[in-house]
Amino acid sequence: MRKFYLLLSAVLLTGYAWAAVTDTIQADGVYYQLDRDARTAAVIRPNTDFVYNQDTIIIPVSVVNDGSTFDVTSIARAAFSKATCQAIVFAEGSKVTEIGQQAFQGAMELRELALPEGVRYLPVTAIHGVGSSANMQLHKVTLPSTMDSLDVMSIQVAALDSIVCKAVTPPHCSLTTGSQKKPCLPFTSNNSPVFVPKGTKVIVPEGSEKLYRAEAGWDYFDCFADNGTDTLRSGVLYYTIEGGKAVVMPDITGGSYKDEESVTIPTHVSKTVCTITAGRTNITAKEIPVTGLGKGAFRGNKSIHSLTFATPSNIENIQPMAMMQMEGMTGTLELPEGLKHIATSGIHSGVSGGQMPVKKLIMPSTLDSLDVISVILNELETLAFRGETAPKCQVKQLSTQKQIPWAINLTSNRFPTPANVEIIIPDGTYNSYKNQAGIGDYFEYFINRETSQPDVMSESKTSRATGIYNLLGVYLGTDESNLPHGIYIINGKKAVR
């Protein structure tokens, strides 16, 4: 009886083992675990010693076994762990919705990975480099529009240079605090030497950049691309990156840099990049020159009272409305050497005046051209030019008005740059400035920079430091008793009467 029992047990055990084997199949070099009841299949690693080594693996929509079709719906835990494949591709129409832990961990040779539509969640260590696998070559990951959450340490690969997110709303990032009181994110953790560089470019749908930057976890990254335009956060400022150059852009959070009192425009900004050489991961900083103040960069800012430029500066242009209505700016504004062009409304105190009370503006020797209405500072007292040659001034004669860099309309504009500001120029350059349309035929009072004395050829004998002037710079005498209600410059100071 005992022998029969042992024989029966052996038969049953053998039968069980045979049944398990039949549920694991191989098709085109890929192993699957079948769920015959659900008619689904999971991509698996058949044993811990097995490693996928094909150059390219294609995950099909379904597999067929014994005449039955099984939809491929998941990538099992550690399925492609330590795989040496260069490409793992999901077939069009993929039905994969689940990615297991360690699914692509340590896949050393994988270059790009695009997860299919339908995947909603990425677990711990799903795409992860650890130990000797820290040097994964993976440089691009694409997350589908269906992705709505990422677990901590779900994507940790030092070589990543871009993450493409197709979801308009940023996937939720799980956040925890490790033993060292440092945050663990999907992209980095306090106890791991492997992390996604902060300079990795996050490419998001048009109009979504602000949402991603405001989302906890995603705010870890500095560089975003929205509709093909790269943006980089460096220090307190945001920049657009194009053609290897950086341009200061408006505060992407909508705050107009309202918390800043003093800002210095740097020579360059740095973007963290990763390179792998001879199996070693090298994290380096790529320097990108800052070449411009972009459209509306500081428009409407009320807090900044000091805006300076690092030396040497790479700034070449000031774009429209870049420095418009910066109410905190008083005193002196010195523009950097290297600046060549100021666009319309580049520096503007507002159509109602008084919204950028700069008193002295210093133009660099490199300034080449000024658009119409480019420098409107209605409380300016001194305008200093350093160039040996006067910059070219755009002048437009319209049917009802004449426009120059300093005024919207010479005949009726109430808030131009005053015509009687002190114009300080280098010695021996009077003819160049006096003969330049838009300068010599508008400003009245030229001073030699070296001697600080009125130029002997100057036609103006009256300093704005004394007397009454309207905001067009017209001298009104010294008696203020009968002045109509309005804003005036009286003895060199702005006054309301």
Beta strands in 408-473 (DSSP E): 422-425, 445-448, 468-469
* pLDDT single digits (tens) 85-104: 999 999 999 999 999 999 99
Please give the pLDDT value at position 178: 53
Structure tokens at 373: 């209405």
Residue 478: count of CB within 10 angstroms of its CB: 10
**Greater pLDDT, 477 or 165:** 165
Does 20 have pLDDT greater than 60?
no
Does 2 have pLDDT greater than 50?
no
Does 465 have pLDDT greater than 70?
no
- How far is Cα 133 from Cα 137, in angstroms, rounded to an integer? 9
* β-bridge partners, 131: none
Do 414 and 467 meet the contact criterion of CB atoms below 8 Å apart? no
- How far is Cα 188 from Cα 180, in angstroms, rounded to an integer? 14
| Among the ranges given (240-244, 257-261, 277-281, 423-427), the one the predictor scored with the smallest mean pLDDT | 277-281
Burial of 290 (0-12, 13-18, 19+ CB in 10 A): buried
Does 120 have pLDDT greater than 90?
yes
Average pLDDT over residues 447-475: 56
Q: What mean pLDDT is reported for the chain?
A: 85
* pLDDT single digits (tens) 399-443: 778 899 998 876 666 688 988 888 999 988 999 999 999 999 998
- How far is Cα 411 from Cα 322, in angstroms, rounded to an integer? 26
Q: Which of 471, 446, 453 is nearest to 384 (CA)?
A: 446
Q: Which of 69, 16, 75 is nearest to 38 (CA)?
A: 69
Q: What percent of the chain has pLDDT over 70?
A: 82
Confidence at 253, pLDDT banded by 50, 70, 90: confident
Is domain 22-227 annotated with CATH 3.90.550? Answer: no
Residue with tokens 């129409």: 93
Does 12 have pLDDT greater than 50?
no
* pLDDT single digits (tens) 272-317: 655 555 555 555 667 999 999 999 999 999 999 999 999 999 999 9
Does 455 have pLDDT greater than 50?
no
Please give the pLDDT value at position 448: 58
- Coil, strand or helix: which one is 210? helix
Residue by residue, DSSP assigns 114-161 as EPPTT--EE-TTSEE--GGGTT----EEEE-TT--EE-TTSEE-TT--
* pLDDT single digits (tens) 306-362: 999 999 999 999 999 999 999 999 999 999 999 999 999 999 998 877 799 999 999
Hey, CA dihedral for 311, 312, 317, 319, is it positive or negative?
negative
Does 452 have pLDDT greater than 70?
no
Do 298 and 257 meet the contact criterion of CB atoms below 8 Å apart? yes
Please give the pLDDT value at position 273: 59
Structure tokens at 253: 């959070």
- Give the list of residues 6+ apart from residue 461 with CB closer than 8 angstroms, or none: none
| Among the ranges given (16-25, 212-221, 349-358, 370-379), the one the predictor scored with the smallest mean pLDDT | 16-25
- How far is Cα 380 from Cα 66, in angstroms, rounded to an integer? 87
Does 4 have pLDDT greater than 50?
no
Structure tokens at 465: 């430091």
Confidence at 472, pLDDT banded by 50, 70, 90: low
Hey, CA dihedral for 321, 323, 329, 335, is it positive or negative?
negative
**Greater pLDDT, 452 or 122:** 122
